[in-house]
Amino acid sequence: MLKPTSLPMRPVASDVFVAGQLDPAAMAEAARAGFRSVVNNRPDFEHGPHQPTNATIEAAALAAGLEYRFLPVNGGYQSPAEIAAFAALLRELPRPLLVFCRSGARSTRLFMAAQH
């Protein structure tokens, strides 16, 4: 059971939540809320140099005791191989799981596609 959090997220399953861009500080909050894993679907520098990099988010996630994976995908198209890779992450990572991208939309699409 997750604890209350101020993270901007929504459930797509009972133990899988999606969010828009998260920063490194959000990793400690996610761990405190009870998440066990995080997946980043946003490519580095997708919209310029101001978004946090995968490396900085990963370091914060690992420091917070979270499992972390980087599966960057295009916002407009997710290939069958990317969907299969996401499905594998859904099978292997401990839950509850927090998945994020720029707005949460591509992570939601990946989750839905991986269910089929």
List, for residues 21-44, the tens digit of each pLDDT value: 999 999 999 999 999 999 999 999
Domains defined along the chain, listed by start:
9-114 (3.90.190.10)
For residues 75 and 101, give the distance between their C-alpha atoms in angstroms, rounded to a whole number: 8
Per residue in 41-93, pLDDT tens? 999 999 888 899 999 999 999 999 999 999 999 998 999 999 999 999 999 99
Instruction: Compute the distance between CA of residue 18 and CA of residue 49 in angstroms, rounded to an integer.
Output: 23
Q: Model pTM?
A: 0.96
**What are the structure tokens assigned to 89, written together?**
């992450």
Q: Would you say 46 and 21 are in contact if contact means Cβ atoms under 8 Å apart? A: no
